[in-house]
């Protein structure tokens, strides 16, 4: 008599999983979970599940599944539920018998044995039914931020539904379980496009439904296409500008998604201006997922007589960033101020949860009074956290203080802060100490820029020299970075190790961009604890 049977340890990719803290000690007991009784029955060719509760939990490699019948065969460990045992500590396997007969299935863990007797007969109850659907479906396209629901509908004529297991199709791994009862059940698995890595990779999701007597069925559903989310944030403009001049808007593009599957993404950006929104410029940027890339958009303003303030926004397929700009009318030229940020100081470093304060010196270099809203903008994803309305007469200076309560971060966090007036901005890197880092060392590196080779011509090497001193009480190794531009970018770095009280010197630099017109911008040398800045000029090639 020929028969085909196999019992499969749960999951096909055993090598892909680390143990999740399940026990390695000798098993004290094994209790039947499915089938719940020692004796059960299944039709030829139908799947049957075997699951036990182990005390303490066990690792998959500690389980030994055996089938003893008239012919006796070894057990083959194949897909799909290995990871279920790895995560839960419950030994689980499934089998299929093609020939009518009686079979003994046993589980052996560290000398403890649990057995079932399986009668394979055409008179056994039919396998449960299961149907799986996904919303949105395979014809749809979503982003990593969008919600996805996978729904399984299961039914058993005998009314003995027991469990439903969710399996992702990329690694054939277990992701969730629902306990069932009765004759019908509907179970929904909710996730997002970003968490459903299997859908990003164009793999399906599967559901397995088991009855109390072990009868088992499975079904699968394909999901939607999942694209990276194209995020955008306006970082700067050259407003206010005179009527008829070019208005420039700078923004940062950041695709959010899977670097493995999405990799480089073409992000189309559009510049929309005015109270009656008008499209005026577009650029397509090639960005690697998880990184940021700057984009510059511009248009020539209309020659209006009166000064106008209106919104401009940068759009991608998924996100929008908006700010207001001012165009000075031809009748108002010569009467408008120009408010520059000539100095910026902060009380950094502070501890997470404390107030971070910035004091800025503002100078009106224009011909008339400057009435502005001054913004305090923080973070790599620029966020305005405080504002102040100021009016500065022509030729005068004023000091303004801004601040906010920092988030109580657990780990040290370094990020840029800006004060901007609409005419000008100044940037500085600040450090917020994490609340959990208080005892991780007392090395503190102070930074002071001692010189640059500026001005240089566009395309030439710009070098910056800085003096360092460890003002702390412990030896430490820290990264020293050179950050340049109104939209801060790290262009060079080096690692420095200093003993307490020790001083050192670093020289950092980069090849400047061959700009067509003269450009002045800040350069910052920073350690994890302090920074120093200078303004440099790069001469245009024209």
305: domain CATH number is 2.60.40.150
Q: Model confidence at 281, in pLDDT bands (50, 70, 90)?
A: very high
Q: Both 487 and 406 in a single domain?
A: no
Q: What are phi and psi of 200, to 5 degrees?
A: -60, -40
| 26-35, 38-47, 61-70, 103-112: the lowest-pLDDT one | 61-70
pLDDT per residue as tens digits for the range 250-273: 999 999 999 888 999 999 999 999
274 φψ region: left (φ > 0), alpha (ψ -120 to 50), beta (else): left
**Is 337's pLDDT higher than 70?**
yes
Mean pLDDT along residues 131-140: 97
Beta bridge partners of 50: 93
Q: For residue 335, what pLDDT is reported?
A: 59
**Is 9's pLDDT higher than 50?**
no
Higher pLDDT, 367 or 48: 48
E-strand stretches of 136-204 = 141-143, 147-155, 161-168, 173-179, 184-192
Q: For residue 442, what pLDDT is reported?
A: 66
Q: For residue 437, what pLDDT is reported?
A: 43
| 25-29, 40-44, 509-513: the lowest-pLDDT one | 25-29
Q: Provide the token pair at 383.
A: 């966020």
Q: 3-class DSSP state for residue 133?
A: strand
Instruction: Give the pTM.
Output: 0.59
Mean pLDDT along residues 372-378: 92
CATH of residue 205's domain is 2.60.40.1930
Q: Model confidence at 12, in pLDDT bands (50, 70, 90)?
A: very low
Name the average pLDDT for the chain: 87
Distances (CA, A) of 330 to 248, 302, 339, 392: 19, 10, 19, 22
Q: Both 514 and 423 in a single domain?
A: no
CATH of residue 36's domain is 2.60.40.10
- Give the helix/strand (H/E) hosting 462: strand 461-470
| Count of the separate structural domains present in the chain | 5
| Alpha-carbon gap, residue 424 to 422, rounded angstroms | 6
Q: Both 325 and 367 in a single domain?
A: no
Q: 3-class DSSP state for residue 14?
A: helix
**Is 19's pLDDT higher than 60?**
no
Q: Model confidence at 328, in pLDDT bands (50, 70, 90)?
A: confident
Q: Both 375 and 482 in a single domain?
A: no
Q: Both 250 and 186 in a single domain?
A: no
Q: Model confidence at 333, in pLDDT bands (50, 70, 90)?
A: low
Q: Which of 101, 120, 139 is the last residue of a domain?
A: 120
Q: Both 32 and 108 in a single domain?
A: yes
- Residue 519's domain comprises 441-542
Q: Both 314 and 254 in a single domain?
A: yes
Q: Both 139 and 220 in a single domain?
A: yes
pLDDT per residue as tens digits for the range 379-412: 887 889 999 988 777 788 999 999 999 988 777 8
pLDDT per residue as tens digits for the range 414-459: 899 999 998 899 999 999 887 654 444 567 889 999 999 999 998 9
Q: Model confidence at 134, in pLDDT bands (50, 70, 90)?
A: very high
The contacts of residue 539 (CB under 8 Å, 6+ apart) are 455, 456, 457, 458, 518
Q: Both 116 and 18 in a single domain?
A: yes
Q: Which of 422, 440, 458 is the last residue of a domain?
A: 440
Q: For residue 198, what pLDDT is reported?
A: 92
Q: Model confidence at 338, in pLDDT bands (50, 70, 90)?
A: confident
Q: Model confidence at 369, in pLDDT bands (50, 70, 90)?
A: low
CA 95 to chain centre: 40
Q: Provide the token pair at 362.
A: 């503002």
Q: Both 307 and 378 in a single domain?
A: no
| Alpha-carbon gap, residue 39 to 225, rounded angstroms | 45
Q: Both 218 and 304 in a single domain?
A: no
Q: Model confidence at 190, in pLDDT bands (50, 70, 90)?
A: very high
Q: What are phi and psi of 335, to 5 degrees?
A: -110, 5
pLDDT per residue as tens digits for the range 193-231: 999 999 999 999 999 999 999 999 999 999 999 999 999
**Is 4's pLDDT higher than 60?**
no
Mean pLDDT along residues 504-512: 94
Q: For residue 5, what pLDDT is reported?
A: 35
How is the beta sheet containing 339-346 ordered, strand by strand?
339-346, 355-364, 397-405
Q: In which residue are the tokens 């009166």 written? A: 306
Q: What is the dihedral of CA 502, 503, 507, 508, to 10 degrees?
A: 60
pLDDT per residue as tens digits for the range 42-81: 999 999 999 999 999 999 889 988 887 444 453 344 566 7
Q: For residue 436, what pLDDT is reported?
A: 53
Q: For residue 334, what pLDDT is reported?
A: 55
Mean pLDDT along residues 526-540: 89
Q: Which of 226, 258, 282 is the last residue of a domain?
A: 226
Q: Both 254 and 271 in a single domain?
A: yes
Using a pLDDT cut of 70, give the percent of the chain over it: 90
Tallying the residues shown for the chain, one arrives at 542
């Amino acid at each position: 008599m020929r028969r085909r049977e196999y019992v499969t340890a749960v999951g096909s990719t055993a090598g892909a999983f680390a143990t999740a803290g399940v026990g390695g000690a000798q098993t004290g007991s094994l209790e039947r979970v499915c089938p719940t009784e020692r004796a059960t029955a299944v039709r030829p060719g139908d799947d049957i599940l075997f699951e036990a509760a182990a005390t303490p939990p066990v690792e998959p490699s500690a389980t030994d599944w055996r089938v003893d019948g008239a012919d006796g065969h070894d057990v083959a460990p194949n897909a799909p539920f290995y990871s279920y045992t790895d995560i839960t500590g419950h030994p689980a396997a499934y089998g299929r018998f093609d020939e009518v007969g009686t079979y003994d299935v046993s589980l052996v863990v560290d000398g403890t044995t649990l057995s079932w007797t399986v009668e394979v007969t055409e008179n056994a109850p039919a396998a449960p039914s299961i149907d799986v659907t996904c919303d949105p479906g395979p014809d749809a396209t979503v982003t990593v931020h969008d919600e996805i629901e996978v729904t399984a509908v299961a039914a058993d004529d005998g009314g003995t539904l027991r469990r439903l297991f969710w399996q992702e199709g990329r690694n054939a791994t277990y992701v969730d379980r629902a306990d069932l009862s009765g004759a019908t059940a509907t179970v929904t698995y909710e996730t997002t496009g970003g968490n459903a890595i299997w859908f990003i990779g164009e793999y399906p999701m599967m559901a397995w439904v088991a009855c109390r007597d072990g009868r088992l069925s499975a079904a699968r559903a394909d999901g939607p296409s999942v694209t990276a989310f194209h995020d955008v944030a306006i970082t700067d403009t050259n407003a206010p500008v005179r009527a008829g001049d070019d208005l420039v808007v700078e923004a940062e593009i950041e695709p959010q998604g899977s670097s493995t599957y999405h990799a480089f993404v073409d992000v189309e950006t559009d510049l929309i201006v005015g109270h009656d929104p008008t499209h005026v410029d577009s650029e397509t940027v090639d960005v690697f997922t998880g990184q940021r890339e700057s984009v510059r958009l511009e248009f020539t303003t209309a020659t209006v007589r009166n000064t106008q303030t209106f919104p401009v926004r940068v759009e991608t397929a998924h996100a929008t960033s908006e700010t207001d700009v001012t165009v000075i009318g031809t009748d108002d030229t010569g009467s408008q101020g120009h408010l520059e940020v000539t100095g910026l100081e902060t009380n950094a470093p502070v501890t997470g949860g404390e107030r971070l304060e910035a004091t800025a010196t503002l100078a009106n270099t224009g011909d008339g009074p400057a009435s502005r809203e001054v913004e305090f903008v923080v973070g790599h994803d620029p966020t305005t956290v405080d504002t102040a309305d100021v009016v500065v007469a022509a030729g005068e200076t004023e000091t303004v203080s801004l601040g906010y309560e920092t988030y109580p971060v657990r780990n040290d966090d370094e990020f840029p802060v800006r004060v901007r007036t609409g005419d000008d901005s100044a940037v500085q890197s600040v450090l917020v100490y994490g609340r959990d880092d208080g005892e991780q060392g007392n090395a503190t590196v102070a930074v002071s820029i001692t010189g640059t080779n500026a001005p240089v011509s566009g395309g030439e090497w710009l070098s910056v020299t800085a003096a360092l001193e460890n003002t702390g009480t412990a030896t430490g190794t820290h990264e020293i970075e050179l950050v340049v531009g109104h939209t801060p970018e790290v262009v060079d770095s080096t690692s420095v190790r200093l003993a307490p009280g020790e001083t050192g010197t670093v020289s950092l630099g980069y090849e400047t961009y061959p700009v067509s017109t003269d450009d002045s911008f800040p350069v910052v040398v920073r350690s994890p604890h302090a920074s120093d800045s200078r303004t440099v000029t790069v001469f245009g090639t024209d």
